[in-house]
Amino acid sequence: QVQLVESGGGLVQAGDSLRLSCAASGRTFSRLTMAWFRQAPGKEREFVTAASWSGWSTTYADSVKGRFTISRDNAKNTLYLQMNTLKPEDTAVYYCAAGSTYGSRLIRDYDAWGQGTQVTVSS
């Protein structure tokens, strides 16, 4: 099993940037598809972005396309999410997840999850 620990969340203003990190340990990180999901209060958890094992292939939810960038450093076993031009509607708990099916936006295709990190964007 892989263990995931997110960090980097916080309180920012609309238009600001933030970078989240997800440190992985356990299974071979470089073989895993990695993704970010988020869950806002009172809403279901939703897909944000995913990266293939190499990081060369990525996919994004329409709501974050052009503003968020996923990347990974396999040598450091770390996944990143660069979030620019943040909006109040980006406020949520952000989770990193690991799986084996690249491109999936389904929660059930990811079998390891971090504890989440809170991102709050004020207007």
Query: In the prediction, which pLDDT does 54 show?
Result: 86
Q: Please report which confidence band the pLDDT of residue 30 belongs to, taking 50, 70 and 90 as the band edges.
A: confident
DSSP labels, 30-93: GGSEEEEEEE-TTS--EEEEEE-SSSS-EEE-TTTTTTEEEEEETTTTEEEEEE-S--GGG-EE
Q: Encode pLDDT of 43-79 as tens digits.
A: 999 999 999 988 889 999 999 999 999 999 999 999 9
Q: Encode pLDDT of 68-118 as tens digits.
A: 999 999 999 999 999 999 999 999 999 999 998 888 999 999 999 999 999
